[in-house]
């Protein structure tokens, strides 16, 4: 069964709820700032900054690969070019501290917008509980990468669509600039386009019968305008095609941790959350309209299919269910309290306090990415021996790009394609020793940078013509000791 819901008659005073979302934003920001090293635990951050520096230096965006020797000169576009420039500017101004501050601000902005939207329907205590749950689910994905800079845009976009569908009206055209920003920040803008259709169905459900044709036309026009806005990039419609390439990587996606499906072989946050929500729905008899049920099921399926979508599930599910639940259950309805004055002067005071704390904290604590510290010796060994054609682990590609060493493979998986990525993984696992040896000769590899646990490391230790020159708990470097003759054109097919 399902119930329809309408705009509640209570008078909403945004000032009442303002301190709740303001405290949420400040608290999340300080927490992420204090534990800023955790935001730098992804090796892809290195090449994201490197690309941003190239864009800023050349006042242009890349159209071909310039960082690998296996795909050099082949077509490649950066769908996150704006985020990369922002990261590069933050790094150039404040080093790794600048990157941490920018990431923390973006993540805190996303939580602030979510809390602000929820405070229109739920009491502050319930909002706090929801925000804590969202933080637990999304925290593994809070990294210095473009998707975090796109989070506030995603929340603002989804919140605008939710409000329009609740009223049974078409979305405001003022949302379109958000799509323009989103498409230049991260490839997840495609999901924002898909949300238009989902909330359009909800708007039609909520609209009066006599207005449904007009509502449908309004949402259709908005969808067309949003699609047009998604083409406002240096690449035009190329960004849409690039996203298609990523989603078409097939079996190669299973090799990337963030693209793997949810693992229920051990207890995880997403499992506890889903079971808890299921139990609550069964116990309390939660009812939603059919369009919102479809939205909940769609978000759940996305979270189960790919780990990286857990954050989308965490941020958007509360927006989808907040108002209908507050209408259905009296205990969840926001009550009007004493108005709390939140003048511009007080907001400015909070901002100044946060700014002062930030300046003092980052000055006393240097941030260092774990990979940047642990692989320094290995990368220096490669440079000392003049290595230019390095067979590297997938996770080491970003640091090599930052060090101006051409890579075999890196996090730009869409550039390399499904077959190349699978062949690289199979070779390093030594599933076929002959293919591994052929790879070394075909690509004229003169050095390797591998994880100590890789089976290929033990083979190279015993292989004639190769010598280990560096090794620690994080990486092992081998160089070829025999002369290389000209080889055939590279191919992993």
DSSP string, 244-284: HHHHT-GGGGGGSGGGSPP--SS--HHHHHHHHHHHHHHHH
**CA–CA separation, 24 and 48 (whole Å):** 29
Regions of the chain where pLDDT drops below 70: 1-20, 330-344, 346, 371-373, 483-493
pLDDT of 331:
63
Instruction: Find, among 312, 310, 354, 350, the residue nearest to 104 by Cα.
Output: 354
Q: Which two tokens stand for residue 319?
A: 């927006």
CA nearest 457: which of 444, 472, 442, 443? Answer: 472
Pairing type for strands 390-392 and 447-450 reads parallel
Q: Six-digit token pair at 80?
A: 């996150």
Please give the pLDDT value at position 371: 67
How far is residue 473's CA from residue 42's CA, in Å, rounded to a whole number?
Answer: 18
pTM recorded for the entire structure: 0.89
Give the pLDDT confidence score for residue 373 in this predicted structure.
66
| Alpha carbon distance 174, 193 (integer Å) | 15
Chain CA centroid to CA 175, Å: 21
Are residues 428 and 456 in contact, defined by beta-carbon separation less than 8 angstroms? Answer: yes
Strand, helix or coil at 482? Answer: coil
């Amino acid at each position: 069964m399902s119930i329809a819901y309408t705009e509640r008659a209570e008078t909403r005073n945004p000032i009442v709820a303002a301190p709740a979302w303001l405290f949420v934003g400040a608290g999340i920001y300080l927490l992420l700032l204090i534990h800023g090293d955790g935001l730098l635990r992804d090796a892809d951050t290195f090449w994201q900054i490197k690309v941003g520096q190239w864009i800023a230096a050349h006042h242009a965006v890349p159209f071909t690969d310039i960082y690998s020797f296996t795909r050099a000169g082949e077509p490649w576009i950066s769908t996150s070019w704006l985020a990369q420039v922002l990261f590069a500017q933050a790094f150039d101004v404040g080093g790794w501290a600048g990157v941490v501050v920018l990431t923390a601000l973006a993540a805190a902005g996303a939580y602030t917008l979510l809390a602000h939207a929820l405070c229109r329907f739920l009491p502050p205590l319930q909002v706090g509980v929801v925000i804590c749950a969202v933080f637990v689910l999304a925290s593994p994905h809070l990294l210095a990468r473009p998707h975090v800079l796109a989070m506030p845009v995603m929340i603002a976009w989804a919140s605008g669509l939710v409000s329009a569908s609740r009223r049974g009206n078409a979305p405001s055209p003022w949302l379109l600039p958000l799509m323009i920003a989103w498409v230049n920040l991260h490839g997840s803008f495609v999901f924002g386009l898909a949300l238009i259709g989902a909330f359009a169905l909800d708007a039609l459900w909520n609209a009066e019968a006599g207005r449904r044709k007009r509502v449908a036309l309004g949402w259709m026009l908005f969808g067309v305008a949003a699609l047009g806005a998604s083409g406002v990039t240096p690449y035009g419609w190329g960004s849409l095609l690039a996203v298609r390439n990523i989603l078409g990587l097939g079996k190669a996606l299973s090799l990337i941790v963030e693209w793997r499906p949810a693992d229920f072989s051990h207890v995880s946050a997403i499992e506890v959350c889903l079971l808890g929500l299921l139990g609550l729905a069964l116990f309390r008899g939660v009812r939603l309209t059919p369009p919102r049920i479809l939205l909940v099921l769609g978000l759940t399926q996305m979270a189960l299919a790919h780990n990286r979508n857990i954050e989308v599930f965490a941020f958007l599910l509360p927006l989808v269910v907040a108002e209908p639940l507050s209408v259905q259950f009296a205990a969840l309805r926001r009550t009007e309290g004493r108005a709390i004055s939140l003048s511009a002067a007080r907001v400015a005071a909070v901002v100044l306090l946060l700014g002062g704390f930030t300046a003092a904290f980052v000055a006393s604590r240097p941030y260092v990415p774990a990979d940047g510290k642990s692989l320094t010796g290995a990368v220096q060994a490669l440079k000392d021996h003049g290595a230019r054609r390095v067979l590297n682990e997938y996770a080491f590609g970003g640091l090599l790009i930052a060090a101006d060493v051409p890579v075999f493979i890196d996090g730009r998986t869409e550039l390399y394609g499904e077959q190349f990525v699978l062949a690289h993984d199979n070779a390093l696992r030594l599933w076929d020793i002959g293919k591994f040896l052929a790879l070394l000769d075909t690509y004229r590899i003169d050095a390797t940078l591998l994880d100590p646990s890789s089976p290929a490391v033990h083979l190279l230790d015993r292989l004639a013509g190769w010598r280990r020159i560096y090794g620690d708990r994080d990486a092992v470097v081998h160089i070829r000791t025999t002369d290389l003759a000209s080889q055939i054109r590279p191919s992993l097919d």
